[in-house]
Copies of this chain bind each other. A is one copy, B any other.
Amino acid sequence: MAIETGGWVTMGEVAERAGVSKITVSRVLRSPDKVKQETRERVRAAIAELGYVPDEAAGGLSSRRSRIVGAVISTLAGSTFASTVDGLGDRLRQNGHQLLLAGTDYSSAREADAVAAMLGRRPDGLVLTSTTHRDDTRRTLEASRIPVVEIWELPVDPIGYAVGFSNRDAGAAMARHLLAAGRRRMAFIGTAGEDDRRGRLRYDGFAEVLEQSGVAEVRATAAASGTQTARGARGLAAVLERWPDTDAVFCSSDTLALGALSEARRRGLTVPEDIAIAGFGDFEFAGEFGLGLTTVRVPGPDIGEVAAQLILDVNAGLEPPSRTVDLGFQVIARATT
């Protein structure tokens, strides 16, 4: 039965109503077992009657714990990071923390702004999807002494911690898969934007294996604008124009692969007979009841959960066994290769 005051009920008002002091109300909220059961119940009743909602900002100011974790994500659309953010938010919620989100659209200038804005909230931790930052961003982060977790890649020298997998190894694994399937003239289709860092790593691993195999050739292309599917389609067109004998393409994302698939169909090519097509990410649409696309599955939600746990642990004084957590990946062979 919340009483409408037009403003917010304060802890003092709850205390008065319960006939105790503010600090006792605070204890009922933060460490209930330090309060005698009878008192506790009286306070809880007052809280309920008044519809009291503790002001976390005030609490954080005092305790120097904001219970906020910031996530700086390149973009939610494209669905790459969506499940990671879900996992992150979930684990934080379970531990009484909240998630502050900012998007950068793959711009390191916007990343810098987002980081600055988040630091203004004195977050208990920060999660970044990018692993390349402006120098000043990195310095600011290092100076902040806040636990920082870079995700979706394993940088050699992380700012704080890293949770993800090796994009390079993933590219290499796909190369081996295609080699084993008998493919020899393979192309890589990526994007040419700023978001291409991870794609570049996938390409590097892919190309290295092929070169070392001594039996296969590599070709690469990237389209710079348009939707991802359009880029995939144009990418495949470009590849086939230049290297008509290509027998397999590895796309830097499932969405690109879908574009390539549609282009192949348009050209009357049969997949995988005429050409094999593989993607990256194992998005839902790539699955068994969708495209049936060969791809690389990465542990999206786990990355978020582990990143959150790392921050919680560090703040609880636990020293993590390692600054880097490799969650691996898995090549999923389906019907397109």
Contact = CB atoms under 8 A, between A and B. Distances in A.
Interface of A: 2, 4, 6, 8, 51, 53-58, 60-61, 66, 68, 75-79, 82-83, 85-86, 89-90, 93, 98-103, 113-114, 116-122, 139-140, 143, 145, 227-230, 232-233, 255, 258-259, 262-263, 283-285, 287-292, 301
Contact of A99 (B61, B93, B102): B102
A100 B78 CA distance: 21
B143 A51 contact: yes
Contacts of A139: 2
Contacts of A100: 68, 98-101
Contact of A102 (B89, B103, B230, B292): B89
A292 B262 CA distance: 9
A76 B262 CA distance: 27
A76 B86 contact: yes
A291 B86 CA distance: 27
A117 B89 CA distance: 13
B76 A82 contact: yes
Contact of A259 (B75, B283, B290): B290
Contacts of A101: 85, 89, 99-101
B284 A227 contact: yes
